[in-house]
Structure 1
Amino acid sequence: MNTKILLSGAIIVLFGITKAQAQINFGEKALGAVQKGMTGFTFSDADAAALSKPAVDKMDAENKVAPATDPYAIRLARVFGKYTKGEFYTLNYKVYLTKDVNAFATADGSVRVFSGLMDVMDDNELIAVIGHEIGHVHNHDSRDAMKALYQKEALIDAASSQSVKISAITDSQLAKIGSAMIDSKYSRKQESEADLFAYDFMKKNGYDVNAEESAFRILAKMSEGTQSSFIDQMMSSHPDSKLRADNAKARAEKDGLYKPYVQKPIVNTLPVVKKTTAKKTTKKTTAKKKK
């Protein structure tokens, strides 16, 4: 599997393309809602969370998830697992065992980190990237993306007043949602604000904020490799990784915290427990001769 860099944008990328192409009959009622227009309805973070969860559950079922005893899962729990409560969301974490380089967070608080990302970033750099993804949830970007998606796909019954009533979503519709969300990218402004959220989170919790610059330098360097054309296509709506690194450096300089970051050892294996062997001691006894 070729290494892909899809950070910050394709928040649901693992639905199979062939499955995602399934046609959906939305029915006359849904089509009627589209024809009447759906620009005025309200859409809460709770609505977005309720709609995101079944899509995430589907992804978890269709991909190889690291069990709790897996070294990757243990590392992620150690690095970020203690942060579970947000202002209006509860976070849960899982690792997808794949060589792809990615991480995403959805409106229901699900955070998914690819093992390929954990292979190239140390703990502080991971915190910067995961913090960025959570920033999209915190800043309501995930909610707004879901709202726009449902407006586009006509999956919301908006016939009555301003209240959103969401009917049951079928499996084929979940695949359709996944396909559509691949094309849903955050704006440059949203990406920059999520970068700032990650920086502030690291600063508040005593982490080395210079790791954010380092994380973007890694992505920038990887984009110069064999996957550069693919990355250019996927990241076209996002700020350039080099620019984001420069912005992170400028923030640290402004706060008087800047110093070149040196990446720490990356360990995705269980610690080796040295076996200790007890030394056998033999007592020599000398028989006393009787006189």
Structure 2
Amino acid sequence: MKRKSVFLVALVAFMVFSTAKAQINLGEKALGAVQKGYTGFTFSNEDAAKLSKEAVAKMDAEHVIAGPTDPYTVRLNKIFGKYTKAYGLELNYKVYVIKEVNAFATADGSVRVYSGLMDVMDDNELLVVIGHEIGHVVNKDSRDAARAAYQKEALIDGAASQSGTIAAVTDSQLGKIGSAMIDSKHSRKQESEADLFAYEFMKKNGYDVNAVESAFSILAKMSEGAQSDFLTKMMSSHPDSKERAENARKRAEKDGLYKPYVHQTPVVTPVKTTKPAAKTTTKKKTTTKK
């Protein structure tokens, strides 16, 4: 009787353990897909570009975008318009009319610059920041950020982990993926490599490389001022801005190109519009036959 009781207890314990184990394994499958990726799951450059394009389209619809004749757009096109095809990318540029100091580029070649950034940086300094963001795309950091955002949102239930292709995402998930790509935490190594990309871009194309030091010095000063909370959040994963400015200065000195950079106050020239000439009407003289 005693042996029978022990056997029953053991059997019940085994059944409970087996049930719990099955439940845990189901959760681990989803968790593993999110954190480590699933062996059957692939995410190509094309997948990243497609997902990024859709996410950016949603963000574009949710922001005020400077029109084609807006001074911000005219200025951006003047600065970076000739670089629509570069590094094997089809780049497209737009300005978000928003006071925040930010810019980002995504795996599909979309580059978005905030008007707040254009208000505090001159043309050369903007080239540095945009060059840095494009560096993330060229270095595949943006692809990895898109993959991580997709895994977090679309694979959360483990469903898509069974497929070798990416699954369709909901509108809500797409919005979260877009936000995650903007706020992606690149490693300090990735940020440093993007900084170097920006410096080499300036040097290769004949721009003043000393603007690199100046751009990071502006961010350093702003992080100590009124926008410190926002910039601290935005730059949390970046190397210290002062350190980045110093590194840029050392590179310029090593290349024999260093000289104090003179920041030019950004000037937004209003677009001239001509009003159509007012139509004048002349009354026809009528004559009556007598």
Matched residue type, 1:34: A
Matched residue type, 2:162: A
Q: How does 1:107-146 map to 2 (within 5 A)?
A: 107-146=107-146
Change beyond 3 A, Cα 1:242–1:264:
same
Q: What does residue 47 of structure 1 align with?
A: 47
Per-residue deviation, 1:218: 0.5
Corresponding residue SS for 1:78? helix
Q: What does residue 171 of structure 2 align with?
A: 171
Corresponding residue SS for 2:47? helix
Per-residue deviation, 1:49: 0.6
* Contact 1:33 1:154 (8 Å CA) reproduced: no
Q: What does residue 87 of structure 1 align with?
A: 87
Percent identity between matched residues is: 70
| Per-residue CA distance 1:32-55 (angstroms, 9 max, x = gap) | 962564244332221101001111
- Pick the aligned partner of 1:157 from 150, 155, 160: 160
Q: Which structure 1 segments of 5+ residues have no match?
A: 1-29, 274-291
Count of equivalent residues: 241
Q: Which structure 2 segments of 5+ residues have no match?
A: 1-25, 274-290
Q: Measure the CA separation in 1 of the matches of 2:126 and 2:31.
A: 45
Matched residue type, 2:160: D
Give 1 or 2 for the bigger CA radius of gyration: 2
Corresponding residue SS for 1:119? helix
- 1:99 and 2:99 matched: yes
* Contact 2:154 2:169 (8 Å CA) reproduced: no
Change beyond 3 A, Cα 1:182–1:265:
closer
- Across the aligned residues of Structure 1 and Structure 2, the Cα RMSD in angstroms comes to 2.2
Q: Measure the CA separation in 2 of the matches of 1:67 and 1:216.
A: 29
Q: Measure the CA separation in 2 of the matches of 1:151 and 1:272.
A: 48
Q: Measure the CA separation in 1 of the matches of 2:80 and 2:27.
A: 43
Per-residue deviation, 1:204: 0.5
Matched residue type, 1:140: K
Q: How does 1:1-291 map to 2 (within 5 A)?
A: 34=30, 37=33, 38-40=37-39, 41-155=41-155, 157-160=160-163, 163=164, 165-181=165-181, 183-270=183-270
Per the normalisation by structure 2, the TM-score is 0.77
Q: Measure the CA separation in 1 of the matches of 2:272 and 2:88.
A: 40
Q: Measure the CA separation in 1 of the matches of 2:221 and 2:31.
A: 47
**Which protein has greater RCO, CA pairs closer than 8 Å, 6+ apart?**
1
* Contact 2:132 2:194 (8 Å CA) reproduced: yes
Change beyond 3 A, Cα 1:227–1:31:
same
Per-residue deviation, 1:269: 1.6
Corresponding residue SS for 2:112? strand
Structure with the larger helix share: 2
Matched residue type, 2:205: N
Change beyond 3 A, Cα 1:39–1:183:
farther
Matched residue type, 1:68: P
* Contact 1:33 1:157 (8 Å CA) reproduced: no
Per the normalisation by structure 1, the TM-score is 0.77
* Contact 1:94 1:111 (8 Å CA) reproduced: yes
